[in-house]
Chains A and B, each alone.
With several copies, the nearest count.
Chain A
Amino acid sequence: MNVAAPQSTAMRWIYLAYMLVFFLYLAAPLVSAAIFAFNDSLFPALPWKGFTLDWFFGSTEPMLGLFHDRRLMEGLKNSVVIGLIVSTLSVAVGTCNAFLFERRSFPGKSLLYVLMIVPLVIPGVILGISILVFASMIANGVEEVFGWEWDFLRPGTFLVVIGQFSFLVTIATLVIAARLRKFDVSLEEAALNLGASRSRVLMTVTLPYLTPALFAAFIVSFLMSFENFNTTLMLVGSDAPLTITMYDRMVKVGSTPVLNAVSVFLMIGSGLLALLSIFAQRGKGQA
């Protein structure tokens, strides 16, 4: 008997019903967004005018499909590139941080630890504007004093990467540190004791143990980079990632079913990636 569960039949049903309603609530907007990706109409709205895949594969206006829409595909490419760079960086720095906070002791550690978490709770817009402002200050300063044009400090891919990186590091650190914390240091000592050098211990014992977490941190960072809006909005230049392109489309062009198609695409893509990360995390190395 599970004491945590409701005991009376009525309560059990009420609870189940609530869960059902909740999951309906979770699914509702996603499902409705998905449905209209297949509506043979120029508007993502009722009435239903029949099934079509044109919003994915159509190659002519006005039903130009997602895969033929230059700007959306461009945005997708930008998103992927930014995501890959940011995730790689975040995982690299996150790993260092995890070792720093889990393995080392140094004065002021707990204070720095709190500082490390802070980017997670700073609103994204503020991260965005602060980096924009700071980068501009430097760029302007450098231009005034030396006459150099440091264009990479102007809105554009570099700043977007930097901006997303600034808070994804925290997430990557937390994910990796959580696993590192469960790591039994005596495994490393055992390896040393058996004659392995420090670098060999790292390569054969510590990193293999961390792999699932590194992988998960990478995917989580990638997904969060991919969907990030608030920070990116302030830092984006001419090569905008997909969310920004989509947003521009939405507010400046209005909702058209191609956006539904993008949504379906994103749902499937991120769903698969998320699954992958979850399996990676629980997969091996649990022994």
Chain B
Amino acid sequence: MYDLECQSLTKRFGAYHAVNNVSFDVPRGSFFSILGPSGCGKTTLMRMIAGFENPTSGDIRIKGASVIGTPPNKRSVKMVFQHLALFPMMNVGENIAYGLRCQKENKTDIARKVKSVLERIGLPGVAEKQVSQLSGGQRQRIAIARCMVLEPDVLLLDEPLGALDLKLRERMKVELKLLQSQFNTTFLYITHDQSEALIMSDNVAVMNAGQFEQIGAPQELYNNPKSGFVAGFVGDTNRWPGRISAVNGGEARVALEGGHEVVAKLGDPGLREGAKVEIFVRPETISLTPSLGANRLRGRVDSLLFNGANSRLLVRTGGDELVEVAQGVMDKTLAVRQGDEVELSWRNEHCLAFAVAG
């Protein structure tokens, strides 16, 4: 059973397709993210679901029933806004009670529910505080509580962590996921930050220019991207342009612009000899011990970007590609210095080729 289904949703502003023929289903109780760069149409999609925009075409169903034509205040989807949109003229308790008041619940019920939801989000006793007295993370949780107290079928969250600072954002990622499993509500989460999407979601849709490029579990997107855009957008990766010199089954030989040749899995079955492609190799799949696979590149260590567990080696190859390498940098098994000659290698299956867009 799906809490939310979108079928061929399209939204045009004038001639511009902000959302273009998007379909997806969100199963009950799951955490679904939409990940895409700024301006790709994420917010527009969410606003259609919430009822603030009318789709140009397509259908939206909540718990199986179409909500096209239902005004926003009659839909059982609640929304956490990017800048939270907590009401500044009400205190915390009133903010949370607002929706209940709109439903004309009686006073004692409201008080009880507000109290209980504040406890569930771990902020008992803040009801009397002003919104401005809370920290960023606390406000975040109040915004969620304000929606959850209404027991919506679906909770929409539009980049809710965007305004928070680094450390808090890290913490809130985990916390949000916990809240979701606690409330056991369907979450539809929008973000342009891949780590948020990957960490929290059961399923992620990668969106680009109004369209969904791929929908799948985080691991699937990371390990089996279906397009160059997904490969480049989800997770860090090296990315070099090249041209296919030979195709052999699911693999191709690709001549890089710098002159080297690598073997890559075809991301796109339709690719033929001579096609311009981009090659994607993740830093953590590249090894300095030349044993791992058929792909080898020689180069000189350009610099070491020390960043604890995320340290990187920058290796400049003869063909002038700059290669980011993550593996073996931190385990002191291999001590390299700036200027050293090294040989890089990776397995063929870790190297993907996709057609260059356009």
Residues of chain A whose beta carbon lies under 8 Å from any beta carbon of chain B: 1, 3, 7, 184, 186-187, 189-198, 200, 204-205, 208-209, 284-287
Contacts and interface: CB of A to CB of B under 8 A. Distances in A.
Interface residues of B, number: 32
Given A3-B52, A189-B52, A194-B150, A209 B78 contact: no
Contacts of A285: 88-89
B136 interface: no
A195 B150 contact: yes
A264 B2 CA distance: 69
Interface of B: 47, 50-54, 71-75, 77-79, 81-83, 85-89, 98-99, 102-103, 130-132, 146-147, 150
A284 B89 contact: yes
- Candidate in A1, A191, A194 with the most chain B CB atoms within 10 angstroms: A194
B89 A192 contact: no
Given A187-B87, A190-B79, A191-B98, A197 B73 contact: yes
B83 A184 contact: yes
Given A7-B71, A205-B87, A209-B88, A194 B102 contact: yes
Nearest to A1: B53
Given A1-B54, A209-B89, A284-B89, A194 B78 contact: yes
Contact of A287 (B51, B54, B131, B146): B131
A195 B88 contact: no
Nearest to B74: A195
Contacts of A200: 102
A195 B73 CA distance: 4
A192 B73 contact: yes
A158 to B, nearest CB: 38
B93 to A, nearest CB: 14
B89 A190 contact: no
Nearest to B104: A195
A197 B104 CA distance: 12
5 contacts: A184-B83, A189-B50, A193-B77, A195-B103, A205-B89
Given A187-B85, A190-B81, A192-B73, A287 B132 contact: yes
Given A191-B98, A287-B130, 10 more contacts: A184-B83, A186-B85, A187-B88, A189-B72, A193-B72, A194-B73, A196-B73, A196-B102, A198-B73, A287-B132
